[in-house]
Structure 1
Amino acid sequence: MPTAHSRSCPPHCGKQGSGTPEKVPPRHASVTPARQVGQVGQGRQSEQDRLNGQKGQNTPETPPSEPIFVARQPIFTADRDIWGYELLFRHSGTAATAQVEDQDVATARVIADGYQLAQSQIAADKRMLINFPRNLILSGAAFTLPAHQCVPEILEHVEPTPDILEACAKLKAAGYTLALDDYVGQPGYEELLALTDIVKVEVLGMNTMKLKLVTARLRQRPVLLLAEKVETAEMFEACRELGYGLFQGYHFSRPEIVPGSKVSSAQLVKARLLSMLCRDFEIGELAHVISRDASLTFRLLKYINSAAFGLRMQVESVSQAIALLGQNPIRQWLMVVLVADMNPSHAAQELTFLSVLRGRFLEQTARAARLPASADTMFLVGLLSRIDVLMGMPMAELMEQIPLEPDIRNAFLGAPNPLRQWLACVEALEEGRFDEARRVLAIYGIAPKDAAAVRLAATEWTQRILGQRD
């Protein structure tokens, strides 16, 4: 079950309808030869198609005019590739409870609206775990979701009663991969475990002896083990050695510090160029910087000639591209490219995506409301907020080498100023702590529905500028 402690690209998830991450090495796999998770999900399409037509009967729909917040928490393989995401949802209504009175309504709206939003933001080969409480399992609402991509996650408080077991068996027969949330070895779950493909074990706070005992019991079953709330590198390695194949938690959004490591000269040049881009400059100066780098030139021309711009004629020069885009859009594009180049590894792709999304969301929010800094400054704050993770260096050391305004530097170092407050807001949105985010929005008079709409537009912009969609 998602909490403030859980966090949450591109291995394919296996065969169609499979829950097996293709890149989990056999030595870490928790699936026994008796039955591979990859054999699940080939089910009866006709039954699913029939039930898809009943979507309106199974799930109350949120009016299209009311945007919703959809947070995604990445799930990693043992190779640190992204296998999929857990989706978290909150309606943007103005009531204190955000118009979500219980888990049933929340999950129903994910099915009705949230999945459609998430589908446009997530690669087709990534799986999506969606929380299912008891009543939603019994309603058959899961049949409105595609079995090859969506994984119903049975919440930990759902008791394995006969009607639940029957409903889960029907999902299995239709080709769905099932996940069981927060298993800690409790008795009475044997029949439900027999229907489950992925078991999430909350490892934070569990002593070593109990973790080994719970894991050993699960290893006797043909299930894939997912370690949830992985907070440290040591915890990640310990779970991987125990046979866990999937991982979720804060560890993957924290910098891995190597003692004695230094920022490379190339990284430092990029970071300082980012800072330079925050001031006013001549178009010719920017054209000169880009033209000196063959990779930047190639990517700029590829970007502006993409289908997103719909240009009738091919743009063939940097100066022409800059003239067409304008100073601010070209500056933002270059900033994004520089951040993406800080760490081009597969493991850093999600952090790059979140950094760019943060920047765009804060920039556009600043344009619509009276935020504590200019839109350009807010873009930089969001964009560089995870630079310590991307560069694998403590933020304090980086701030000594990158010239930034004092307010930005202090916010990155944790000082309680207004910029730090907005970073906390975007972090809360990412982690599904929507009520915390709403409190910050309220201080600045921003309606949650407006923030949700801005965040959706920012997500689409981020995908486009990073080349994740046409």
Structure 2
Amino acid sequence: MDDSLQPTEPDDAREPESVFLGRQPILDRSGALHAYELLFRDSPDNRAPVHDDVQATAHVVARTVGEIGVSAVLGDYRGYVNMNRALLFDDIVHIMPPDRFVLEVLETVTFDAALFRRCSQLRDAGFQLALDDVVKLDDTLLAALPYVDTVKIDFLATDQKALPALAAEVKRRGKALVAEKVETHEHFQRARDLGFDYFQGYFFARPQVLATRRPSASRVALMRLLSLLADDPAMRSLEAELKRNPEVVVQLLRVANSSAFGLSRHVSSLRDAIAAIGTRQITRWTQLLLYADGRGLPWRSDPLVQLVGTRARFMELAARVLRPSDDSFADSAFMTGIFSLVHVVLDMPAAEALTRLSLSEAIREAIVDGRGPLGVLLRISQAADRGDIPEVDASLADAAFARLTPAVLAKLQVDAATWFAAHRLE
């Protein structure tokens, strides 16, 4: 596991810019890891009050898919995520790769024909569904069983005398059984004897709290992006809007790289990413970020976002000076600038951070090794950022970069800063 994702202890001091996610293992009958339940956490403390089911689940999904990453959170296992009725019907559910998530239907959900139809649609899409916190065998449970794959039984709250009949009926219907809130060896042994398939509770492990740095996205910027998406924007307009929000681009690339999309080629431009994800998925993700973002009103400038946004624009403009008719090279230059600092956001080495994003080899080599024309442009940009004139001059020694005279570079710096300032939200 990455150092930035190590389980934390409750008394660890964490800066507010971190995001947190809880996960509790679900084990099989042999004691091997089967899955994780993913839990809302808002601090290193191993607990979190949930006042809004929709917002809590939005946070969990945003942090798993976009901020920390599915592979870092789940490894090769599935994640159980709590879903209320509104979320089950929301398109946002499709941001989650269906082969990696189990939708855990909360006990507060009202079952009716519409919900059963929706459950069937979700299962047809590849999701598994589970009933959460079942405590008794009743008509509601029996009606819901055909539409789910798994039943989680609250081992503490269920009448122990009624437990054998409840477990036997669920097993008879061909559903997997999870015993949750297993707190003693006696609980575990009894659940095994009753035929439970999986087990979860403090007897095995308390939830771990994972932490990583929070990528900030402005609610105002997200709303502006949603407004643009609602009008079926042209590729150029959408590309321009996303370029104004580098932190959103980083997260979109992580979504594109999830197993829900299965990219067949590496992304070398923002346009590639938009085409891979599609405007509908971008809309879903933007909506999820809007749900999950409880900060940022008014929007406060992030120095890291300022730096990466200005750098990306500078590199794009420089690329156009070098190759005026090569839009692909300009796009790749912009993407190189955007992701040149992604390792800072993810708090890990650049080479490791870039393995999580499906970027072209030219961009990866430029960032990690400083190789190729994009690598030269990146070095020029970095040197310009710190005012290192000798390094700029050394980078310009190659005749291929002769057009980037000191006067041109100075103008590009001003133009890049002006471009970012013009689109920065206060």
Q: Say whether the fold is shared (TM-score over 0.5).
A: no
Compare CA radii of gyration and give the structure with the larger one.
2
TM-score (norm 1): 0.38
Greater RCO (CA < 8 Å, at least 6 residues apart): 1
TM-score, normalization by structure 2: 0.42
